Structure 1
Amino acid sequence: MDIDGDGEARQVQVRFVTKLPQSYKVQQASISIPANLTRFGLSALINNLLLTMNEDWTTEPFDFLIDGELVRMSLEEFLIAKGISAEKVLEIEYIKAVAPRKQEEPSLHDDWVSALDGSSDGYILTGCYDGFGRIWKAGGICTHVLDGHSAPVTSVCNLMPKADSIVDQVVATGSKDKTLRLWKFGEEDPIDQPKKITSVKILRGHTRAVHSISGKPSGDMVCSGSWDCTINLWNTGADDTDDSVSVKKRKRGGQDEEALSEGEALTTLVGHTQCVSSVVWSQHETIYSGSWDHSIRRWDVETGKDSFNMSCGKAINCLSIGGESSALIAAGGSDPVLRVWDPRKPGTLSPIFQFSSHNSWISSCKWHDKSWYHLVSASFDGKVMLWDLRTAWPLAVIDSHGDKVLCADWWKGDSVISGGADSKLCISSGVPVL
């Protein structure tokens, strides 16, 4: 393409640098290249240079940074937009393009996949509108079915196992039946067919549906947000006695259930005036919450008071805490915009980033736990998008669902998992964030 209209593209002097391993490095001598190259042309150029150094080189996509910002236009347009002189040698850093290399076969559920958790490398935990939780291994193998709720499961989370219980994993689920349940299972259980397990503890106390749950980093407590506008804090130990009461066997489906312990809330945080749609127990004494009352709050667990209360102007559907120093707040809600705030900056409640490529409400967002820049979002528009704070455009758009996407997370550091109203758990793998 002729940028200047004079028949020849203007040339710029550049030097390519990278922090990638030695096998990815090209000569650092400056070279002259056309100024009308976009990132796709630059990627082709880098691959050609690497091929001249290694005839066995396999082509792969790259992204490019100039002064810490990802290039999403031609070099010439970028230089003009940023006021950078084309007379000096331009240093361009190249990195692996963050986009899925592979789409796994979807894992099918019997109803909407409403919640998931990918924080364990060994399995994926999902919650479904059929009332069951499920544990999945890679390759679409369901190893455990969590059977106990009497209404759709709306939220799930992994909890750290107890120090004296290396084999057993502990997970929590929340449901429209107003309860949370705790479950234990062994990762190494036989997987020739799904094993149905029952909960080890029921947590009762909410007066309306449980909408969101989050575990304390230490794993010994869990918090829950509900349609009753409150946040409850609970012990997670199945054998704790300070908050448990004896429960007789209950009838369920004509059969006696095993006797279970029931837990009562240790603390209730009050302040929201509508559904608490998202809770994140980010640090030992800090909980963040988002609500349909348009507010995001930060709670001090010890005092039970909110130390930060920000009105966002939109009903909040999802929250994630991460990014630089694990201090940034990402949130989505009742418009197509994913917003990021830095609560460390006093005197302003304006987002520091706004991403607007979705075209319907945002249902889920999650920071990558090892990157300051990367996060994923899901939307009712049926799409999952990967974001980098260094550009306003999505790095990748994952279009593997046929209906609303209700939840998304990272898994094993290099995969994006998502669930939706098409009853599918989708896995997009080979995402080179690190």
Structure 2
Amino acid sequence: MASAAITLAAEAPKLSAANTGFMLICSALVLLMTPGLAFFYGGMVRVKSTLNMLMMSFISIGIVTILWVVYGFSLAFGTDKGGLIGWTSGWVGLSDIGTADLWDGYTIPILAFLVFQLMFAIITPALISGALADRVKFSAWALFVALWATIVYFPVAHWVWGAGGWAFELGVIDFAGGTAVHINAGAAALGVILVIGKRVGFKKDPMRPHSLPLVMLGAGLLWFGWFGFNAGSWLGNDDGVGSLMFVNTQVATAAAMLAWLIYEKIRHGAFTTLGAASGAVAGLVAITPSGGAVTPVGAIAVGAIAGLLCAMAVGLKYKLGYDDSLDVVGVHLVGGVVGSLLIGFFASGKGQSEVQGLFYGGGLDQFWKQCAGVFAVLGYSLVVSAILAFLLDKTIGMRVPEDVEIAGIDQAEHAETAYDFSGAGGGAARTSVPAAVGGASKKVDA
């Protein structure tokens, strides 16, 4: 009996300083993605909406952080209640979580896991904001974030990742958030814009990005932070799966960027910086659910397919008449669906699990499981988000007045402008010089 006890004690997980440090670094990388998203979106709007776009991302950091501590973590990862939601009363306010308490089955503290997952909860509603640019009251947006995180994100996170969640138990594969983050946010974006309507001048006025350098900076920060987003989701670095995910993240992103650029060169005649940035994000989105299940060659396929389909999808808003300002639906919803469903074809059985897709002899069993997860999340988020937007619009109002939208939402909502040209020689400088004839002084352009 003594020897058996010693064996069991030796097998019990112990806190790993290396894995804990790795997860804290990954958490910081994921947090960096939200400011990166703010710059990415901020550069894509017109100059009069820049600050509002930045603030729509930053406010999510504040609101979701507090909600996560108070009850969000318990709802998402607490003891399962019917496969739909979690709840552990001792986690409310994080009151009963000790500094050395380990996440079940892992070598990292619960605190490390919860702060990593907090960063996912922060960026998901921020992703929605890109579809609503130029026209939403900031106070209404802040309230929407709080309600949406509570009613949509926390339950969906439990479905997909929580022990006992119905999608988790079904065997739906979502390594780092294809369903819980990207499909969730993209479907929500579509639901809200169908309720609040189009921007003034949609399809009539030019609405070009005001700063492509900002867009590229934001895309670079997203790409960088995404390594923490994806590789960190294995919750450790012991068996090489996190390294596979890291490699696949890079590979798929590169493939998607190239595919997008090739498509737009053929379709529109140019390789654009906006296309490069958007293609990279499409690849990052698509590999997020699938990267732990596919080989690097499979990641090339996933990225290339996503880059092509997302590039084609962004034009649908003009054909179908919905105003998705910054292509959240075209990139995040479509990219998330593509990446999640392709697991059913490209899962190799050599990564995060032994599950094999159709192309590796596994049949279509996993594909149908992926369909169940994808369309359940899509439908739930779309409907509930539309209802939330409708209720807010009918009570406090979701949109700014038309004259504010035309003049610029930054000054009205934030009492600031993104760029101050008053001291930078905004007009032609003029000076007084002696007249060449007649001795009188006159004004001439400098």
Structure with greater helix percent: 2
Please report the TM-score for the alignment, with normalisation by the length of structure 2: 0.21
The one of the two structures with greater contact order (alpha-carbon pairs below 8 A, sep at least 6) is 2
